[in-house]
A and B are shown apart, each in its own frame.
Chain A
Amino acid sequence: MSEKRLLLGDEAVALGALYAGLSGVYAYPGTPSTEITEYIQQSPLARERGVRSRWCTNEKTAMEAALGMSYAGKRALVCMKHVGMNVCADAFVNAAITGVKGGLVVLAADDPSMHSSQNEQDSRFYGKFAMVPIFEPSSQQEAFEMVGDAFRLSEALRLPVLMRLVTRLAHSRAAVQIGEPQAQNGLAPDDERGRWVLLPGIAKRQYASLIAKQEEIQAGAEASVYNRLEIPGQARDDEKGAGQDDKLGVIAVGIGYNYVRESLPAGVSVLKVSLYPIPAKQVRELAAHCSRVLVVEDGQPFVEEQVKGLLGPDYPVRGRFSGELPRTGELTPDCVAAALGVALPTPHERAHNLAARPPQLCQGCGHRDVYTALNRVAAEFPGARIFGDIGCYTLGALPPFQAIDSCVDMGASITMAKGAADAGLRPAIAVIGDSTFTHSGMTGLLDAVNDHSAITVIISDNLTTAMTGGQDSAGTHKFEAICLALGVERDHLHVVVPLPANMEEITRILREEIAYEGVSVIIPQRECMQTLGRKLRQKKQQ
């Protein structure tokens, strides 16, 4: 039986993994990767097969648990947004040293143009760093098929493999032809301690073995259907002739292939790349047919740099480094057409009566009351600094609140406030969400407690992971217990309800705790308006 389904790129990955016999998905929500895990959580097939899919506390716990499932012989998928790779890098890189048993696919969804992110780092560098194969689909259909191939390659090489998506594929929908689901692996734990106990003696041997596999990995990429040289018949004939004319060849990487095909001039040769390491053989073949090469890749100039190295300093290689394509931001059909020398019409100028419309905190959101209180109290302390964190409440940086002084990475509010307090800054206030706190805030709070740092921590608890659409938050109903267990003093731990009616109480507590020369934690606790509304609607429907 074969059928077609309309799927987001994320959903195609999820379904591809389920059809490849997945036994567990491990993930922390992060745009644009969230829908992969959500799809598996809602899939009848996953339920029937008992596929493990609950949200993890962060990307590192996700990666390690997935490695454990692989160790036990089953296929596991780890999903995250690109910056999640920073969080789990320790486990990821070392999983390439131990190797795997059941197939282990690590999916990183990059966000070039930073639609919902603080940087546009390119996860392919992590794959190269760990010396593992990297898959990068160009379409939803390819994404679906590729996951199965990624699991098979992972088991054949006994290595984790990386799969990279970008926002435009993750969040774009198209029809996907699907086949029959294959069976899951049975329980078959590995028994080679000589691979898994990374004492230096063993690690040295394992590292040497990883390096020894590189030749096979390279040959596999060059033989793969995912890397395809498309030389038009005409171009081949021309090449046999003069061969001296200016002739363009394009290396079209991942989703870049679509933009190239959108406006490809006749006679141009294309090397489609969707599996790394880059197929050096085909790159040389393309270069031999052409007189210059344009590299079209989303993200950082990862391929362009390597192709330059392959073809030497005299061969013209163009792309994001050389300025033919913009150095930052996602690819568009427009910038790729321009790089190909194809002019697109722009019949209408930008409109005049236009204003930016930035996102904002929802009406009635508890974070609003938190910032109202903080702004009121902070105004009384000219030296006050408010260290923010990652989540909906980062929008407190924008008008009307303009309340926070920093937002760097998951958990940095508490630790930056601590460092600033150590330096003598008063008052140092941290604002962190409930899910971000359990993701990466707890260890920082322990540091602050042990150092008796003078910080005031606001854990703005809306009982969900709101920014990504309301996923379960790992610490719900446990925050007081966690803070007490980490050593926060009972007298300096407060739970309040962020509502305009409670403003007097909240501002009074803030003032008192700011005056305290030690760690205080205030937990404003009220459910997210979005998840609350959804629950009420569901109730009504029933």
Chain B
Amino acid sequence: MSKIDIKLCGVGGQGILSIATVLGEAATAAGLQLKQAEVHGMSQRGGDVQSDLRLSTDAIWSDLIPLGGADLIISMEPMEALRYLPYLAPDGAIVTSGKPFVNIPNYPDEAALFAELDALPHVVRLDIEAVARDSGLPKSANMVLLGMAAPYIGLLPEESLRGAIARVFSRKGEAVVEANLKAFALGLEHSKQVSK
């Protein structure tokens, strides 16, 4: 049996569900089993949001990832990545945006936050919004993040993720597909650089 459990998180409105949609599309095309618990409703209004995505070659039972079970945390926001630490497996990885989203008065000290984050094994962080903006892809920050996460998702080869991006965004036109593929490539490149 081969499986990966991914905790997706961020702040309501940041677009974690489109990352989940691409992963779901890729997993379905690859013939994998999938369960994805989403958050809808009140917490979408600027609060913390998370989604449990479980992929496996065999039957998946629980819709939720158990404590210490997540192979990967993908986060649109650095403090939100830390929120789900008890769910991270001993050798799990964190792939996160490096840009704090400060919409609360008591946001932690950023230096301390990054020190705690970087002390963990397998952390990749990048200011994805800046990278996306500087590359002329302001709406594709979440695909930069997905690209960063790609090397940690052994069950889904890079090609299958590219194919899924193309299919998911095809409704919005060729330009949007191209922008998202380019964003994905930027994130992937960054991840490969830092893990060298």
Q: Chain A residues in contact with chain B, CB under 8 A?
A: 4, 6, 8, 31-32, 34-35, 115-116, 168-169, 171-175, 255, 258-259, 261-263, 332-334, 337, 344-362, 392, 395, 399, 467-469, 541
Contacts and interface: CB of A to CB of B under 8 A. Distances in A.
Interface in B171-194: 172
Given A115-B39, A355-B104, A261 B85 contact: no
Contacts of A263: 66
Contact of A353 (B43, B48, B82): B82
B88 to A, nearest CB: 5
B107 to A, nearest CB: 6
Interface stretch (B109-117, B123-131, B149-157): B109-117
Interface in B40-71: 40-48, 60-69
A6 B34 contact: yes
Given A262-B66, A395-B45, A32 B35 contact: no
B88 A347 contact: yes
B105 to A, nearest CB: 8
A365 to B, nearest CB: 9
B144 interface: no
Interface string B14-42: 00000000001000100001111111111
B89 interface: yes
A169 B79 contact: no
B195 interface: no
B136 interface: no
Contacts of B37: 168, 171-173
**What 5 pairs across the A-B complex have the smallest Cβ distances?**
A359-B47, A31-B41, A116-B41, A351-B82, A353-B108
A541 B103 CA distance: 30
B83 to A, nearest CB: 6
B36, B88, B109 — most chain A CB neighbours (10 Å): B36
Contact of A359 (B40, B45, B90, B112): B45
A511 B170 CA distance: 55
Interface of B: 11-12, 24, 28, 33-48, 60-69, 79-80, 82-83, 85-86, 88-90, 103-109, 112-113, 116, 120, 172
A12 B48 CA distance: 27
A541 to B, nearest CB: 8
B109 to A, nearest CB: 7
Given A32-B41, A333-B64, 5 more contacts: A332-B66, A344-B67, A346-B68, A349-B85, A467-B41
A467 B39 CA distance: 13
Contact of A354 (B24, B28, B108): B108
9 contacts: A6-B24, A115-B43, A173-B37, A262-B61, A333-B65, A345-B68, A356-B48, A359-B46, A467-B41
Contact of B82 (A354, A359, A360, A469): A354
A354 B83 CA distance: 7
B61 A359 contact: no
Contacts of A358: 47, 104
A360 B46 CA distance: 6
B112 A469 contact: no
Contacts of B11: 357
A348 B68 contact: yes
Contacts of B105: 399
A391 to B, nearest CB: 10
B38 A173 contact: yes
Given A6-B24, A333-B62, A359 B42 contact: yes
Nearest to A169: B63
Nearest to B24: A6
B34 to A, nearest CB: 6
Contact of A32 (B40, B88, B89): B40
Given A258-B63, A262-B66, A355 B79 contact: yes
A351 B116 contact: yes
B107 A355 contact: yes
Nearest to B63: A172
Contacts of A361: 45
Contact of A349 (B45, B48, B86): B86
Nearest to A34: B40
Nearest to B40: A171
Contacts of B103: 357, 360
A345 B66 CA distance: 9
A337 B69 CA distance: 13
Nearest to A394: B42
A357 B85 contact: no
Contact of A258 (B62, B79, B109): B62
Contacts of A469: 40
Contacts of A337: 66
A173 B34 contact: yes
A359 B44 contact: yes
A350 B88 CA distance: 10
Nearest to A10: B40
A354 B109 CA distance: 10
Contacts of A392: 45
A91 B83 CA distance: 44
A360 B44 CA distance: 9
A350 B45 contact: no
B61 A258 contact: yes
Given A171-B38, A362-B45, A334 B63 contact: no
A255 B64 CA distance: 11
A7 to B, nearest CB: 11
A46 to B, nearest CB: 21
A208 B142 CA distance: 61
Contact of A172 (B33, B38, B46, B120): B38
Contacts of B63: 168-169, 172, 174, 255, 258
Contacts of A173: 24, 34-38
Nearest to B44: A359
A31 B40 contact: yes
Contact of A350 (B28, B48, B86, B120): B86
A116 B62 contact: no
